[in-house]
Amino acid sequence: MSLNAKKIVIGVIGLFFLGALLIVGGVESNKRIVGKKASIKVSSESKNCVGCHTVKSPSLIEQWKNSKHALRGVGCMECHKAEPEDKDAWKHQDALIAVVVSPKDCSKCHAQENEQFQASHHADAGKIIGSLDNVLAEVVEGDMNQLALNGQSPVAINGCWQCHGSVVKIMENGRPDPATWPNTGIGRINPDGSKGSCTACHSRHQFSVVVARQPDSCGKCHMGPDHPQKEIYEESKHGIAFKAFKEYMKLDAQPWRVGIEYSAAPTCATCHMSATSEMDVTHDVGMRISWNLRPPISEKIDAKAIKAGVETVPWEERRDNMKNVCGKCHAENYVDSFYAQFDSAIVLYNEKYGKPSTKIIKMMKAGGVLTPTNFDEELEWTYFYLWHHEGRRARHGASMMAPDYTQWHGFFEVAERFYIHFVPQVREACEKAIHKGGDAAAKARDVLAELDLILDRDEHKWFLGKMSDKEKAQRKEAAKEFKKRYAGN
């Protein structure tokens, strides 16, 4: 739907609700959104809620009054109303309400945003349950037995789920199970079966786009040692420009198109979601990226779908979408050259570290050189650091112009992890298995032979002291030049 068509639909919906409105005395807004005093209109259904909650939770009501929703007559019941057959229906005062407001509830008025969101990886983020990382939360770090809350590991409840989303359970009394809620994880599974949580980015009860457009908003989840996008952005020239010129960003404008309403800097939303003169806003954050930089070996974002025979948007088209954004501030050749630099870093990571280490670990697991239990051997932690932390940091840094993350938090640590920890630990585990004898001993010999083949490749030879004479001479010459440049300074 075009921006204009969307406006008309929202306008019609707005009018529909206005029809059923009463103006409630005492509910007056002093609101900034329109710059002058505006009357807040509330349906008769929501009148009691507002009255009592003004006393019980005044800030909540104040936030709602500051919202476009309040101005358009979207009151408490437009979002919280429940039907008797709903799993999460709770008799509260004289009304039947749901505490949890799901994307399905928002979709009554924002169908397109919901449709795009449901198709995104964000909506699927709750599917991590059962992943390798999840063993950490439920077993290695946490506990599902004596130390659990209602049978769930406190590590998952307070950690993973707050970003990825819980499966929200409703108790007999109609109230959410405290082991599963409060939770605004992006891929939360709701009692009505819908996926995700719009409040993950649109904080209640103001639901302001200003909040959603802030890098900090994405940064609640996209940060830290294994996906430091927020830190990367802050290091980049883009983040620097945003900090310097934030006041000129018109973060509350609607529409908000780079190169028209603002031009000082791109935020996360600018590049991944927001509109340009040619593109509408998208709530599918995968529509402008071409790689998946998360797994041990990076693939193009459409690779899985192609393998499964599922139709999808090709990576080239997604990259073109992103280039459309960059093109509002940069020249075409500049952007193409950036992508050449970025791609070269991903290919290097894959070929030099990702593929070899993954192959070795798979051989060791399958051959019984490593135990079937995950994370009980040092080598497994080493491999995890290599791809999940350091390898991602190198790739993520290169994707968003952060040289320090690419180099010192990235490739430097990848190399150290590979040569100084991974290689010796593989040898040690194999030698132990050979010493023990049995089936695993033969497999361990295969692993050692494979490791030797890997290290004998051009990109690793230096480690065996087998760098070619030509390359050695080149390096010596370069070192001499370097010393000469600084001589006497």
Contact positions with ligand HEC (CB under 6 A) in 297-326: 319, 322, 325-326
Residue 20 within binding range of ligand HEC, rule CB under 6 A = no
Cβ(98)–Cβ(90) below 8 Å: yes
Residue 74 within binding range of ligand HEC, rule CB under 6 A = yes
Q: How far apart are CA 231 and CA 239, in angstroms?
A: 9
Using CB under 6 A as the binding rule, the residues of this chain from 351 to 380 that contact ligand HEC are none
Residue 393 within binding range of ligand HEC, rule CB under 6 A = no
CB 481 → ligand HEC: shortest distance, Å?
Answer: 25
Residue 40 within binding range of ligand HEC, rule CB under 6 A = no
Tokens matching residue 281: 């806003």
- Of 366, 417, 370, the closest CA to residue 390 belongs to 417
Instruction: Return the residue of 9, 38, 149, 329 that touches ligand HEC, per CB under 6 A.
Output: 329
Residue 328 within binding range of ligand HEC, rule CB under 6 A = yes
CA–CA distances in Å: residue 68 to residues 18, 73, 104, 208, 218: 13, 9, 20, 8, 22
Nearer to ligand HEC, 272 or 443 (CB): 272
Q: How many C-beta neighbours within 10 Å does residue 172 have?
A: 5
Size of the site for ligand HEC (CB under 6 A): 124
Instruction: Spell out the residues 6+ positions from residue 462 whose beta carbon is closer than 8 angstroms to its own.
Output: none
Residue 415 within binding range of ligand HEC, rule CB under 6 A = no
Residue 43 within binding range of ligand HEC, rule CB under 6 A = no
Residue 21 within binding range of ligand HEC, rule CB under 6 A = no
Residue 250 within binding range of ligand HEC, rule CB under 6 A = no
Instruction: Return the residue of 144, 149, 314, 338 that touches ligand HEC, per CB under 6 A.
Output: 338
CB 418 → ligand HEC: shortest distance, Å?
Answer: 20
Q: How many C-beta neighbours within 10 Å does residue 340 have?
A: 9
Nearer to ligand HEC, 29 or 134 (CB): 134
The phi and psi torsions of 263 (rounded to 5 degrees) equal: -150, 0
Cβ(121)–Cβ(285) below 8 Å: yes
Q: How far apart are CA 209 and CA 350, in angstroms?
A: 38
Nearer to ligand HEC, 319 or 352 (CB): 319
Residue 198 within binding range of ligand HEC, rule CB under 6 A = yes
Instruction: Return the residue of 5, 20, 23, 52 that touches ligand HEC, per CB under 6 A.
Output: 52
Nearer to ligand HEC, 336 or 477 (CB): 336
Residue 180 within binding range of ligand HEC, rule CB under 6 A = no
Measured on CA atoms in the order 307, 312, 315, 316, is the torsion positive or negative?
A: positive
Instruction: Return the residue of 100, 360, 361, 363 that touches ligand HEC, per CB under 6 A.
Output: 100
Instruction: Return the residue of 124, 192, 261, 299 that touches ligand HEC, per CB under 6 A.
Output: 124
Burial class (CB in 10 A: 0-12, 13-18, 19+), 329: middle
Residue 335 within binding range of ligand HEC, rule CB under 6 A = yes
Cβ(51)–Cβ(13) below 8 Å: no
Per-residue x/- marks for ligand HEC, 159-178, CB under 6 A?
A: xx--xx----------x---
CA–CA distances in Å: residue 111 to residues 1, 6, 103, 235: 11, 10, 9, 36
Q: How far apart are CA 371 and CA 117, in angstroms?
A: 40
Q: How far apart are CA 195 and CA 85, in angstroms?
A: 19
Residue 195 within binding range of ligand HEC, rule CB under 6 A = no
CB 371 → ligand HEC: shortest distance, Å?
Answer: 21
Using CB under 6 A as the binding rule, the residues of this chain from 416 to 475 that contact ligand HEC are none
In the block, which residue shows the tokens 């019984």? 368
- Of 247, 272, 282, 273, the closest CA to residue 262 belongs to 247
Residue 111 within binding range of ligand HEC, rule CB under 6 A = no
**How large is the C-alpha radius of gyration of the chain?**
27
Binding span for ligand HEC by CB under 6 A among 21-29, 233-241, 409-417, 464-472: 233-241
Using CB under 6 A as the binding rule, the residues of this chain from 261 to 290 that contact ligand HEC are 263, 265-275, 281, 283, 285-286, 289-290
